[in-house]
Amino acid sequence: MTKTIQCISPIDGSVYAERDALPIEDARSKVAAAKLAQPAWAALPLAERIAYVMKAVEYIGSTKDRMTTELAHQMGRPVRYGGEFGGFEERAKYMASIAEEGLAPLVLEDSENFLRKIEREPQGVVFVVAPWNYPYMTAINTIAPALMAGNVVMLKHASQTILVGEHLADAFEAAGLPSGVFTNVVLDHDTTSALIAERSFNFINFTGSVSGGQAMERAAAGTFAAVSTELGGKDPGYIRADADVDAAVETLIDAAMYNSGQCCCGIERIYAHESLFDAFVEKAVAVVKGYKLGNPLDESTTIGPMANVRFAREVRAQVDEAIADGATAHIETFPEDDGGAYVSPQILTGVTHDMRIMRDETFGPAVGIMPVKDDEEAIALMNDCQFGLTASVWTNDTEKAAEIGARLQTGTVFMNRADYLDPALCWTGCKDTGRGVGLSIYGFHALTRPKSYHLKKIKK
């Protein structure tokens, strides 16, 4: 029996989109077509591959209204924020600008006796399993450099944002991409695991939960396919005694609450030096009290519903547990809070690392704030976590920020900013966040494999 994949809109709980999952035999046929298309695609000049990708990016730019409206319906982001095209385009353009450098051979010797070099060859078929929270930007992180490097791509998007895969497929079709080079598929979990286990893919990129990443690695066990993962996060912010409190509040609270807190590198816990703690909390509370929770299709809405009721349930559970254990909640329940997907944002003090709100991934509009006496205490608390994606340090001392950063167990260290992905820097993590490597020149290296040439020249 064919399985149906549904997108339940958080706006009203209705079925917004519904698609039949691809039967296993049909999925295998698409994999075969992708493998057949890859050699010819890789043989095209790099400039031509880049041009195809950028034409698809231009198409998405010409249909931004579709992006914005469908995102509001699928995962609840308010239309006032205009979708994701800015970051989507920035990342694709940057990767195009460094493609020649990133894919260039390393020539060690080219003499009358030897040619010794290391070339970069495409992995082959790249399987992208994309998440719903930033469904365009997270997808393009891998799709753009993978195609530029000569790979073909198969995209499986999250059920919550199933229409994003179709939008991207429309873009690549409009760009004139050869058949089989980019394929959007709707798959259930069993078919996904079966395809991976059958060595359908040479490289697997997964962004999602820790349990999802573990399932990917289990499915790929013994296939020797590379599995790149970006999983959970519990990113900290630290306000040192010399920090600009107003700037810290503006950025860190936005990083905690934007997208209803559903950001991979959003701020989920904050540590403020005890001399600034009261001022920071007071200003932070004032900011959050000014939010407008509501229908994301309403231009006045600043914080929309969470993408799914089950996500909202976890946020409420963590907040309620913390309050029961002695934490103080500073935000009264918003009138629009319906006990379902529409969740009131929350700021908590009196929290400890014995509480899940400071330990487990929340992925919602709630953040705990703790006072700390010095850098040593802050570093210890920031590292007291199973995840490691980003950390944000607020200070006017660049050298001190670098010293602190060197001791943090994280993939990216920010100073005086947060919740941003710089395409020139390697996007990576550690611990239970996974071992993925994306964007930057290292993104091209991950999506290709080194091939060595040791060519001896015979003189006659």
DSSP state of 260: G
Q: Residue 1 has what pLDDT?
A: 67
Q: What is the pLDDT of residues 197-214, one digit of tens each?
A: 999 999 999 999 999 999
pLDDT confidence tier of residue 413, bands split at 50, 70 and 90 = very high
Q: What is the mean pLDDT of residues 40-64?
A: 98
Q: What is the mean pLDDT of residues 166-177?
A: 98
- 59 pLDDT above the threshold of 90: yes
Catalytic annotation present for 264 = yes
Instruction: Determine the Cα–Cα distance for residues 246 and 395; give it in Å rounded to an integer.
Output: 12
Q: What is the pLDDT of residues 351-378, one digit of tens each?
A: 999 999 999 999 999 999 999 999 999 9
Burial class (CB in 10 A: 0-12, 13-18, 19+), 222: exposed
Q: What is the pLDDT of residues 440-453, one digit of tens each?
A: 999 999 999 999 99
pLDDT confidence tier of residue 431, bands split at 50, 70 and 90 = very high
Q: Is residue 453 classed as helix, strand or coil in its secondary structure? A: strand
Asked if 394 and 242 count as a contact pair (C-beta separation under 8 A), the reply is no
What is the pTM for the complete model shown? 0.97
Instruction: Determine the Cα–Cα distance for residues 344 and 305; give it in Å rounded to an integer.
Output: 9
Q: Residue 459 has what pLDDT?
A: 84
Catalytic annotation present for 7 = no
Active-site hit among 7, 70, 84, 264: 264
Q: For 4-231+434-456, CATH number?
A: 3.40.605.10
- 438 pLDDT above the threshold of 70: yes
- 422 pLDDT above the threshold of 90: yes
Q: What is the mean pLDDT of residues 319-330?
A: 98
Q: What is the pLDDT of residues 25-38, one digit of tens each?
A: 999 999 999 999 99
Report the mean per-residue pLDDT for the chain: 98
Q: Residue 2 has what pLDDT?
A: 79
Antiparallel, parallel or unpaired: β 437-438 and 427-428: antiparallel
Q: Which residues contact 328 (CB under 8 A, 6 or more apart)?
A: 348, 349, 350
Question: What are the φ/ψ torsions at residue 26 (nearest 5 degrees)?
Answer: -70, -40
Which neighbouring-strand residues pair with 367? 347
Active-site hit among 230, 263, 265, 361: 230
Architecture of domain 235-420: 3-Layer(aba) Sandwich (3.40)
Q: Residue 42 has what pLDDT?
A: 98
Q: Residue 136 has what pLDDT?
A: 98
User: Helices in 345-439 by DSSP H: which ranges?
Assistant: 375-383, 398-407
Residue ranges per structural domain of the chain: 4-231+434-456, 235-420
User: Helices in 107-234 by DSSP H: which ranges?
Assistant: 137-148, 162-174, 189-197, 210-220
